[in-house]
């Protein structure tokens, strides 16, 4: 795996890594959740966000302020139509910044609407 430790406001935070050969992740240490949300809203593709914390009030603030349709408290690989929605996935409504429906999300075959989902991972052994 390749880990990129970045400083705040580094444009490399916007890099979407391809996991074809080597898993890659960007990591940034921040002072608080508000700073993390600001960086996420500024640099991310606005698709998925996850906060690892045991503070439920912090999770509520994170969910209210982060601009992502899929918000969780663990791994983010659950975010696809087949796994998260138990439906075939047709595509992503925010692919390449298109934002067809005003907010990113999974497009499935049964609806033209995207929804905002919040996942809580209770099973640490759950794998995608």
Highest mean pLDDT among 3-7, 12-16, 82-86: 3-7
Phi and psi dihedrals of 45, rounded to 5?
A: -80, 5
Q: What pLDDT score does 86 carry?
A: 65
Determine, yes or no, domain membership for 42: yes
Q: What pLDDT score does 65 carry?
A: 94
Determine, yes or no, domain membership for 93: yes
Determine, yes or no, domain membership for 113: yes
* Alpha-carbon dihedral sign for residues 55, 61, 63, 68: negative
Determine, yes or no, domain membership for 107: yes
Contacts of 85 (CB under 8 A, 6+ apart): 106, 108
Determine, yes or no, domain membership for 103: yes
Determine the Cα–Cα distance for residues 107 and 93; give it in Å rounded to an integer. Answer: 6
Domain count, the chain: 1
Chain centroid offset of residue 19 CA? 16
| Residue with more model confidence, 16 or 36 | 36
Percent of the chain surpassing pLDDT 70: 65
Determine, yes or no, domain membership for 78: yes
Determine, yes or no, domain membership for 87: yes
Structural domain boundaries, residue 65: 31-119
Q: What pLDDT score does 109 carry?
A: 62
Mean of the pLDDT values across residues 2-20?
Answer: 78
> Would you say the pTM of this structure is higher than 0.85?
no
| Residue with more model confidence, 98 or 85 | 85
Determine, yes or no, domain membership for 112: yes
């Amino acid at each position: 795996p390749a880990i990129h430790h970045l400083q705040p406001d580094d444009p490399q935070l916007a890099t979407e890594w391809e996991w074809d050969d080597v898993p890659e992740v960007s990591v940034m240490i921040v002072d608080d959740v508000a700073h993390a949300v600001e960086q996420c809203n500024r640099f991310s593709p606005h698709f998925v966000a996850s906060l690892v914390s045991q503070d439920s009030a912090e999770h509520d603030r994170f969910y209210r302020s982060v601009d992502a349709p899929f918000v969780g408290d663990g791994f983010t690989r659950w975010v696809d139509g087949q796994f998260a929605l138990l439906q075939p996935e047709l595509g992503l409504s925010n692919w390449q910044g298109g934002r067809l429906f005003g907010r990113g999300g999974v497009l499935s075959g049964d609806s033209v609407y995207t929804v905002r989902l919040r996942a809580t991972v209770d099973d640490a052994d759950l794998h995608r």
